[in-house]
Every structure is written in C-alpha cells, then in structure tokens.
Amino acid sequence: GAVVSQHPSRVICKSGTSVKIECRSLDFQATTMFWYRQFPKQSLMLMATSNEGSKATYEQGVEKDKFLINHASLTLSTLTVTSAHPEDSSFYICSARGSGGLANPEQYFGPGTRLTVT
Amino acid sequence: KQEVTQIPAALSVPEGENLVLNCSFTDSAIYNLQWFRQDPGKGLTSLLLIQSSQREQTSGRLNASLDKSSGRSTLYIAASQPGDSATYLCAVHSGGGADGLTFGKGTHLIIQP
C-alpha cells in the first residue's frame, strides 16, 4: 500500500527558533499534500493544503507567514514552523493523495511529528 | 462549516463482543467518508473509505455504513479483540472548495481481555 513518512518523529526546540518537518510519499506521486495539527485529546485540524508547484492554501486562522509550506516535488512537502512558541507544541501529521482527484480520493497519512517548544 | 461528531467518546467492552461506533456530520454534501484508527502517539491507519454514492464497505471484521441524507455513518466491529483497542476517527471530505478532511474527536475504544 501507499506509504508516507515524516521526519523527524520528535523534535524539541527553544522558543524563537525555527523547525522544519518533512513529509515524503515513498511509493507514489503525491499531487496534493495536507498538513494537520492535533492537540492533546483533540481531533486533527487541517492547517493547509498544498499542490505540487503551487502555493499552499491555508485554513482560516492559520498564519501562512508562521507555518511555511513548500511542495517542491511530487514526493516531498515540508512544513517550517518559524519563530516557534510553546503554544505551537503539538502533533503535526501530514497526508498525501495521488493524482486522479475525486476518482482517487484516499489520503495516506504519515506517522506524525511531535513538536515540543520550550 | 462542516462539523463531525462521534459518539461515544469512550467505550470499554469485553473481548468477543460486537460493537458499533457512531459518526454524524452536519453538511450532507460530502464526497466521501473515511474511518481511521489511531494508536497512542502514532499516525493514522485508514480502515475504510465510503464514497458518497455507496452505502457500505466491508473489510474483514469491520463494516462501515453511510446514510448521507441523514448525515450518519456507523462502524461495526465484529468479535472484538484486545488488539482492536485504539482511538477510531471518522472524517469527511466535503464539497464547497474544502479539500482536506474534517475529523471528529474520535471514540477511544478499550477491549478488555
């Protein structure tokens, strides 16, 4: 089946620094990638959608200058949390969808990245 | 704005029982609905995807139904096992330009050996 990886799995950083999280589709080409955030005991919330070669579309309330998303190839998307603060500590999960749009709708999720900002 | 609700929030049953998890959504204009499993501190494993034109999907001991007009889905787990213990998430892919999934808060399931 389709496999999506994320790196790193865990990261601890100091307040004010930036952190980059990678999301890779290992055995398929991901036309679209999604970034979600999950706070403790809460559900996943969509942060942004990115299509390869295009600018990401951010959900309402998500600061695009703080959460930089790059989808430069069909197998890699990156999320950079800039000037991280303790309230950015969360579980970040990416997902990837192949080509075909609604005819091939399934999203495949990565294992997640636990970010802790001290 | 689409909202997804899952009931119950938590469930603990003895091994071997059949059980039903419920999911409801407020906007029936969906493309599809997915059920996922999430183990503690882990990512998501897709269990079943039901297209809006379908009424149910089955995989092994799992059966998911969809009643789009009433905004409801159920996940039926037959002959539950301790390994089924996890949080089960329901998510819908809506229309109206929203391309990502809207998730419920999940049902935390414990199967007692």
Across the range A54-78, mean pLDDT stands at 92
Q: Which residues of A touch B42 (CB under 8 A)?
A: 111-112
* pLDDT for A23 beyond 80: yes
Residue A7 and residue A59 in contact, taking contact as beta carbons nearer than 8 Å: no
Higher pLDDT, residue B23 or A41: B23
Q: Is B105 on the interface with A (CB under 8 A)?
A: yes
CB contact under 8 A, A49 and B100: yes
Q: What is the pLDDT of residue A6?
A: 96
Region for residue A75 given its phi and psi (left: phi exceeds 0; alpha: psi -120 to 50; beta: otherwise): alpha
Mean pLDDT of A82-100: 92
Q: Inter-chain contact B100–A36, Cβ cutoff 8 Å?
A: yes
Q: What type of residue sits at position B58? A: T
**CB contacts, 8 Å: B10 with chain A:** none
Q: Is the pLDDT of residue B57 over 90?
A: yes
Task: Provide the strand spans (E) within chain B.
Answer: 4-7, 10-14, 19-25, 30-38, 44-51, 56-59, 62-67, 72-77, 86-94, 101-103, 107-112
Rounded to the nearest angstrom, the gap between the alpha carbon of residue B40 and the centroid of all alpha carbons in its chain is 17
pLDDT at B106 over 60: yes
d(CA A37, CA B23): 21
Q: Where are the beta strands (DSSP E) in chain A?
A: 4-7, 10-13, 19-25, 32-38, 44-51, 57-58, 67-73, 76-81, 90-97, 108-109, 113-117
Q: What pLDDT shows up at residue A41?
A: 81
Q: Is B108 on the interface with A (CB under 8 A)?
A: no
Residue B96 corresponds to which tokens in the numbers above? 């109206």
Nearest to A44 among B46, B49, B103 (CB): B103
* B23 contacts B6 by C-beta, under 8 angstroms: yes
What phi-psi label fits residue A104: left (phi over 0), alpha (psi between -120 and 50 degrees) or beta?
beta
- Give the mean model confidence (pLDDT) for residues A61-75: 92
Q: Tell me what pLDDT residue B75 has.
A: 98
Mean pLDDT estimate for chain A = 91
pLDDT at B113 over 60: yes
Residue (of A13, A11, A20) closest to A118 by Cα position: A13
Q: Is the pLDDT of residue B65 over 70?
A: yes
Instruction: Read off the pLDDT of each residue in B38-65 and give the average, rounded to a whole number.
Output: 93
For A20, phi and psi rounded to 5 degrees?
-110, 135
- Overall average pLDDT of the B22-46 stretch: 93
Q: Is the pLDDT of residue B45 over 80?
A: yes
Across the interface, do A111 and B43 touch by the CB < 8 Å criterion? yes
